[in-house]
Structure 1
Amino acid sequence: MADLNGEALVTKERYRDAMACVPAAVNVVTTDGRAGRAGFTATAVCSVTDEPPTLLVCVRRDSSVGEAFRANGVLCVNTLAPEHQGLSGLFGGKTPAEERFAAAEWSTGGTGSPVLEGALASFDCRVVSAVDVGTHAVLFCEVVSVGGGAPTEGLVYVGRRYDSVCACAS
């Protein structure tokens, strides 16, 4: 976006610096299906509506896992607790998929997506639509089942570092 003189109102760097001030839950998003098993770390996840239960997940279109999520059409958002910080790093880097999944215990959700054992919350979903916006695909996902462990602390990312917050019981 530019002002009337054609100058940028918001630079990429300024936008990223401001967003770093916004705490966000840390999630490992997983999928499995005909395009294979894949996963990535995401903070760009949020609720859209509770009728039907729907959330959105943003994934870089040029990432090594982006196509698997679109092709499989299913995913599980696994919300992390502080003890999962290392797992977040594995799923956020260039670690091969086999090593990522070997670092934790997983079950299989109704959609076939991997569900993290001990996750603060897990949202097993069907992708119902996708919209490309800039560098990312925004996946709108209908939640088909929800799981979670005992109330604990949640893992958040803020100020370009991890922190924890008290999580409430449902």
Structure 2
Amino acid sequence: MSRLVAAVHVVTTRTSEGRTGFTATAVVSVSDSPPTLLVCLNRRNHSAPAFRRAGVFAVNMLAGDQQPVALGFGGRNDLAGEQRFAIGHWHEGHLGIPVLAGAVVVFECRLVEARTIATHDVLVGRVEAVTLGRDGPRLAYLGREFLVV
């Protein structure tokens, strides 16, 4: 799997317990009518139950200079939960969930289906809001390394 090049995203949500999120490369467009995205989340991730409960999530595609955000939400610096939001500039999106300022694009989604497949939850979300950010280099992941493309 490490040979698959992928864009890097931080997927976020909010529940009554607070904000949470994780770094993801397994994000794909499912349909454009209605606009729908698929996100894969390892069930061992501490935030996995929150995504099912919240019913909404944001997919923030990272710009080339946002590697610290990817690392923070990827668990590489021992930050958890709300602490992760100290990295980057966050605000509340259209659906009341955290969105990242400076992201290439943010898709705010309503969860329409969640399935467990092997070690992951597959979350399918209908896109309800899109925010286009700056155009420029993006963060990618290949061979267990970040690349700016």
TM-score (norm 1): 0.83
Quote the offset at 1:36 in angstroms.
Answer: 2.8
Structure 1 residue 135 and structure 2 residue 125: aligned? Answer: no
Structure 1 residue 98 and structure 2 residue 82: aligned? Answer: yes
- Considering fraction of residues, name the structure with more helix: 1
Quote the offset at 1:150 in angstroms.
Answer: 2.1
Q: Which residue of 2 aligns with 1:159?
A: 143
Are 1:35 and 1:72, in contact at CA under 8 Å, matched by a contact in 2? no
Q: 56-65 vs 30-39, which deviates more? A: 30-39
Structure-2 separation of matches of 1:88 and 1:138: 20
- Considering fraction of residues, name the structure with more strand: 2
Which consecutive aligned stretches of 4+ in structure 1 deviate over 3 angstroms post-superposition?
Answer: none
- For 1:157, the aligned partner's letter is Y
Quote the offset at 1:144 in angstroms.
Answer: 0.3
Structure-2 separation of matches of 1:73 and 1:147: 19
Are 1:118 and 1:148, in contact at CA under 8 Å, matched by a contact in 2? no
Quote the offset at 1:37 in angstroms.
Answer: 1.2
- For 1:154, the aligned partner's letter is R
Q: Which residue of 2 aligns with 1:145?
A: 129
- For 2:18, the aligned partner's letter is G
Task: Give the share of equivalent positions with the same residue, in percent.
Answer: 48
Are 2:18 and 2:82, in contact at CA under 8 Å, matched by a contact in 1? no
> What value does the CA root-mean-square deviation take over the aligned residues?
1.0
Bigger Cα Rg? 1
Quote the offset at 1:21 in angstroms.
Answer: 1.2
Structure 1 residue 87 and structure 2 residue 74: aligned? Answer: no
Of 27, 35, 39, 1:53 maps to 35
Are 1:79 and 1:120, in contact at CA under 8 Å, matched by a contact in 2? yes
In structure 2, the residue corresponding to 1:152 is in which secondary structure? coil
Structure 1 residue 40 and structure 2 residue 22: aligned? Answer: yes
Structure-2 separation of matches of 1:61 and 1:85: 24
Structure 1 stretches lacking a partner, 5+ long? 1-18, 166-170
Structure-2 separation of matches of 1:68 and 1:164: 30
